[in-house]
Amino acid sequence: MKLEFIPFNIKLKKQLYEMFKDFPQEEFDDYYSETNMKYGEFKKYFKKILKNAEIRKYYTLLCNDIPVGIGIIRTEGDNAYSELVGNHISYRIRNSYRGKGFGNYLLNQIVKESFNLGCSCLIAQVKKNNEISKKVLKANSFKQYNLKENGKLKADEKDIEVFYLNLK
């Protein structure tokens, strides 16, 4: 099995579109509406992603040249959680490739790339009912940040948990 972690590539846009269609819709909110896009809309969206490369870095995990997951690193710092001044990350594995260790591999590559980009702390938000993602984060040394205890719980965050990893 050949695994590659590469930046989003315009040559892969059709394959990436197919991958996005394989992400379970129920895991997304309005922010991730690309799962409902028609291909023409996705091409415009894809160009926008590539233009914003200074703010967010998008990566693709390929397995035998097939996109199986994406990783995103926000390269701007985010002061959303008290003493956690860090970079938000996110990752997603397409439905048909879940349960095979790709999430762990992808998160590990995101952490390495974040370190190479000079990030000192990573922050990941997870829906409370996403036990698998929480398990993956914990297995990769992320610690849970207690939003209630730190007085940072906002109304729109009642269904999420925050995890962080210091890279210092």
Tokens 């990573």 belong to: 122
pLDDT of residue 149: 61
> Where residue 42 sits, what CATH number does that domain have?
3.40.630.30
- In terms of residue numbers, what domain contains 106? 3-166
Mean pLDDT value of segment 66-75: 92
pLDDT in tens, 115-164: 999 888 999 988 888 899 999 999 999 999 876 665 555 555 678 888 99
User: Structurally, how many domains does the chain consist of?
Assistant: 1
